[in-house]
Amino acid sequence: MSKLLRFFRRPDYKSDVTQFIEELKAQRPDIEAQQRAGRAIWWDKHLDREALGDWKQARVPQKPYVYGSGNGDAS
């Protein structure tokens, strides 16, 4: 390490958040596997592009204001 970098180097510092996460991982080593499993359930999806295109084509357009009577009355 150069002299300049050593001069500006801070002592080994860990924020409260980093310390909390490290403690949590030490107490529950399986937490990352649980996170990956949860992500796989909710986010990691393979989309069928053909089915998605069919769904978009079959969609019926919604009228501009669905809650009114159509005569401008807001009740």
Could you read off the pLDDT of 40-66 as tens digits, one per residue? 888 888 888 999 899 899 988 877 877
Who contacts 1 (Cβ-Cβ below 8 Å, separation ≥6)? 9
As a whole-number percent, the residues of the chain with pLDDT over 90 amount to: 35
Domain ranges of the chain: 15-58
Average pLDDT, the chain: 83
DSSP-assigned letter for residue 29: T
Q: Yes or no: say if 41 and 48 are a contact pair by the CB < 8 Å rule.
A: no
Query: How far is it, in rounded angstroms, from Cα 67 to Cα 51?
Result: 30
Task: Return the H-helix or E-strand segment holding 31.
Answer: helix 31-42
What is the band of 20 on the pLDDT scale with cuts at 50, 70, 90? very high
- pTM (two decimals): 0.45
